[in-house]
Amino acid sequence: MIYIVSEIQSNGTTASVITNTYADRNDAENKWHTILAYAAKSNIKVHSATMLTDDGYFIKSEHYEHESEA
């Protein structure tokens, strides 16, 4: 099985998606948690991580929303 971890960064009008694939679930979990560790302190408006399998099965997703600096 292949695990897919996607990082999504959005400023409210545009978004970018960075995708990584892993053959080992523990490696995928490590990447998922690493993304969220950075997302917790980022200045990106919406910063999220999603994990699923290569057959489209959703495993988990989490995000952080930050206020824009004035």
In a domain, 70, yes or no: no
pLDDT per residue of the chain (70 residues) written in tens, 0 to 9: 999 999 999 998 999 999 999 999 999 999 999 999 999 999 999 999 999 999 999 999 999 999 865 4
In a domain, 46, yes or no: yes
Question: CA 57 → CA 53, 54, 60, distances in Å?
Answer: 5, 7, 10
- Contact residues for 33 (Cβ-Cβ < 8 A; gap 6+): none
Can you give the pLDDT at residue 69? 55
Can you give the pLDDT at residue 67? 82
In a domain, 69, yes or no: no
In a domain, 64, yes or no: no
Domain that holds residue 47: 3-58
Can you give the pLDDT at residue 64? 96
Count of domains for the chain: 1
In a domain, 52, yes or no: yes
